[in-house]
Chains A and B, each alone.
Chain A
């Protein structure tokens, strides 16, 4: 076997650790997640994030304990001293990991209270202890720098993101988050390992991951043997002005539906990202749908749907009363816990969906993130 025949992951692991840590034996910690990899080397933990910026290349970060004899060869996006004491988190899906690992006190800045559901974090914001630095186009780099974070966790908008450049210039390391691009719910949950590695709560992160993954697998096993003809066909999302966003067949939404014993209506859609389909195409296919999940923000009652677009009342799941939205835990500000703790609890989301698709399998489960839009 020549070197070209060596599986690529093995080659990349070898290169990742051999170059900076000289002959250290790599130990791969993340398996299901496709957007990051953690390697334990002699004097550092190497975190590699792939496609953190859409279209970007992989970035490697060296996580190094204070005073560890680590030599930076200049190949890392940042060398980060662990445990990180002060973290600015500009993505709500990472916040529950901090709470689960008992390191919420490391949080020194968040993006916008209107996107945050967690009561404890909101209280700190209201007391003036936690600054908001804005998100998206409204991000205030000065406020981030003023919060004196040791690290910023952030989802960049592209490879040339000005916020990343400004924070780099200020000497503040930024790790690009790609959790939202993971293709499965469990892969999203695995990002708790990243937070665990940064805060040196690796064992706790592993324990939580194993527990929730095992529960997820148990629930998935309940539906595994359900034949195709007993799986309800599931319509997802809702239209905006004639266009209907439809995630591809290999998306985490499709995976949830499959694992919960449903049949995704677009199980044949091969696309790199969510496609915006013509309304009439969706109407044609939705005639076969039995359940409809995931509506637009603020659509919580049948009246909300009809007021927005009366045609939606003719969808088969609407007529049969099987429309569910993840709006059960939503604040008046619009902050929705589905996007926050839901990312860290795929097993609860799965239980909700099984309860919706096959109520007889989980008769005692009360919907947590989801609720029927019908009273």
Chain B
């Protein structure tokens, strides 16, 4: 059964967030979870610290981060009319990672704060601009993907050059960042991520009909009176900020960006962005919280790498997309 409205998709992220707050490596009684939500739990107690300072920030960051990365993937797939476009595939995530490396590995080691986010966003936008330029000249999907891969290699290589000269503390910080995780310390990300994701969803929802016309070709879009240059730049700016923000705070997060829009298309009765934008955001949020929960191996005190869990979900989706696309046709 396919959904005619994205509204039912609101339920899974809420339920999963509740579940993620409730279960973890430490068993917290459900009445204390309810008390914590109601604000009546003693804030000095260990369970309050676990619920409010450990689980809540990671759930909020996973919800927001998952939605933002998924939306960034949807934007890239629409702008490049390429089913395999996404922050990881096109090298945008690596560009953001290079920005982070510049800040973290420089002698003035940066913590996860404004300079890191700005540098990551700048790196993501730089790669997006390159990809867009190449795409306009070549107009060949596969070549753009290959070039994205090359940009990714180049960004990673530059990061490695910086690592070679880094001090041990900066290097350690960068290596841990590169594992990717939603388990961030309490602070501005938990406050900023959910509104940023909602804001991006509202903005893209407002641009939904224009995004639809992008898929129908430049001629059609221009004949509809749309300024393609402005639209593409606006969309890529949004994608760059979303990827930069997520990458700076959470590290490289695999597969969410490229896989989630396809899951949204798979369950949608309509391929129009009016549906796809909110659906992608909500599925991205759900998938991120689920992957984070699985990576914590509830009931055990060990953790799995988040990206390993996400890859187990992402790889089958990509394989299905490739099989559906047929030989050499990777457009939407």
Contacts and interface: CB of A to CB of B under 8 A. Distances in A.
Interface in A332-373: 333-334
Given A283-B46, A334-B169, A310 B176 contact: no
A296 B168 CA distance: 11
Contacts of B302: 275-278
Interface residues of B, number: 33
Nearest to A240: B176
Contact of A280 (B24, B169, B177): B24
Given A243-B303, A308-B185, A283 B176 contact: no
B13 to A, nearest CB: 21
Contacts of B111: 307-308
Interface string B242-279: 00000000010000000000000000000000000000
Interface in B117-173: 164, 167-169, 172
A284 interface: yes
Contacts of A240: 172, 176
Given A243-B303, A283-B54, A298-B169, A310 B187 contact: yes
A276 B303 contact: yes
A284 B46 contact: yes
Contacts of A278: 24-25, 296-297, 300-303
Nearest to B303: A278
B184 A241 contact: yes
A289 to B, nearest CB: 12
Interface residues of A, number: 28
B172 A281 contact: no
Interface string A257-290: 0000000000000000001111111011001000
Given A240-B176, A283-B49, A307-B111, A114 B168 contact: yes
A311 B164 contact: no
A281 B181 contact: no
A241 B187 CA distance: 13
B210 interface: no
A283 B181 CA distance: 19
A211 to B, nearest CB: 32
B53 A281 contact: no
A309 to B, nearest CB: 4
A175 to B, nearest CB: 25
B176 to A, nearest CB: 4
A54 to B, nearest CB: 19
B157 to A, nearest CB: 14
A242 B177 CA distance: 11
A76 B194 CA distance: 63
B53 A311 contact: yes
Contacts of B186: 310-311
Contact of B185 (A243, A276, A309): A309
A370 to B, nearest CB: 19
A138 interface: yes
Contacts of B296: 278
Given A242-B58, A284-B46, A284-B50, A279 B183 contact: yes
Nearest to B182: A242
B187 A280 contact: no
A60 interface: no
Nearest to A275: B302
B183 A241 contact: yes
A314 interface: yes
A241 B172 contact: no
A321 B285 CA distance: 40
A114 B167 contact: yes
Contacts of B49: 283, 311, 314
A133 to B, nearest CB: 14
Given A241-B176, A280-B25, A280-B26, A311 B185 contact: yes
Interface in A8-37: none
A305 B318 CA distance: 41
Interface in A27-50: none
A308 B169 CA distance: 13
Contacts of A287: 46
B220 interface: no
A307 B110 CA distance: 11
Contacts of B44: 314
Nearest to A332: B167
A297 B296 CA distance: 26
B54 A280 contact: yes
Contacts of B184: 241-242
A305 B16 CA distance: 31
B55 A280 contact: yes
A314 B26 CA distance: 17
Given A242-B181, A280-B25, A309-B185, A297 B172 contact: yes
Interface string A96-133: 00000000000000000011000000000000000000
Nearest to A243: B303
Contact of A241 (B24, B54, B179): B179
Nearest to A266: B301
B296 to A, nearest CB: 6
A227 B50 CA distance: 32
Interface string B7-26: 00000000000000000111
A297 B173 CA distance: 10
Interface string B290-327: 00000011001111000000000000000000000000
Interface string A183-201: 0000000000000000000
Contact of B168 (A242, A297, A307): A297
Contacts of A308: 111, 185
A231 B131 CA distance: 62
Nearest to B53: A311
A219 B201 CA distance: 65
7 tightest A-B contacts by CB? A242-B183, A281-B301, A309-B185, A240-B176, A278-B25, A298-B169, A334-B168
Interface of A: 114-115, 138, 240-243, 275-281, 283-284, 287, 296-298, 307-311, 314, 333-334
17 contacts: A114-B168, A240-B172, A241-B183, A242-B54, A242-B184, A242-B303, A243-B181, A243-B303, A276-B303, A277-B301, A277-B302, A277-B303, A280-B50, A281-B25, A284-B26, A284-B46, A297-B168
Given A283-B46, A284-B46, A297-B172, 9 more contacts: A241-B176, A241-B181, A276-B302, A281-B26, A283-B26, A283-B54, A308-B111, A310-B186, A311-B54
